[in-house]
Amino acid sequence: MTLTIGATCWNASKFIRILLWGLAVSIPAHALAEDVQEFNDYAGVVGDAPIGMTLSLSEDKVRKGSHYYYRKYLKDIPLTGTIDTELRFVEPGGGVFLLHYVDNKLVPVTAENSTGLIGTWSGNGHTVPVKLVSVDSSSYRVGHRYEDVTNKDDSQFEEPIKKFYDAVINGRPSDAVQFVAFPLRVNVGARKFIMINSASELQQRWNIVFPPAWLEALKKFSPHDLFTRNGQAMIGAGLAYFGADGLEIVNAIP
């Protein structure tokens, strides 16, 4: 009996060790704190072209996931480089950013009290001015900035949002409604809202939900590298919020 109990205990102990080992192996990468990086988002222009830029910097290094994109194309261009008295970022095509931190008065400052970046971009024999404003900061795994919203990677989650954006901006209600998670809450004023329960209802009330002034405001923003708040992704400084299944909230222009 003693031997049996001892064997049973040993087997149970071995089973627990194997189980714990299996759980450890199956823990997803996002559970490891070292995979999470701090990122800072900027918006501005290279010459006259609107861009967005996302940077993860550590001491004198530009970390993986740093990139910029032209709003016209919404395609990430990776950045590598060095940090010294200037920030020097290099893109795969050979273009080079030389930037430094500034405050609201465009006075050179440190990263901690800066409100943006200014400098130049050089490439293809041309040099143009760059001006960027700091817009947000957050921490996440590379490729998973929407982890609080969905288990999809960034490109998968953004794809329907980009399609909604294109459809609503270009006046295609029948296409846009495909990317709405009904019922849709529409906040029309202080403590006032309406609920849209179906695609047909949204199309009938389209101009109330998306008036011309709202659409013009939306055009100033990009459906890419969105900010997350309370388990939703926000576009247009709060004009609209998306959840895992599509558009969930629309806010009237303040």
Strand ranges inside 91-237, DSSP E? 96-102, 116-123, 126-141, 180-189, 192-196, 227-229, 232-235
**Which band of pLDDT confidence, cut at 50, 70 and 90, is reported for residue 34?**
low
pLDDT above 50 (res 89)? yes
Radius of gyration in angstroms for the set of CA atoms belonging to the chain, rounded to a whole number: 24
pTM of the model: 0.83
pLDDT in tens, 204-250: 999 999 999 999 999 999 999 999 999 999 999 899 999 999 999 99
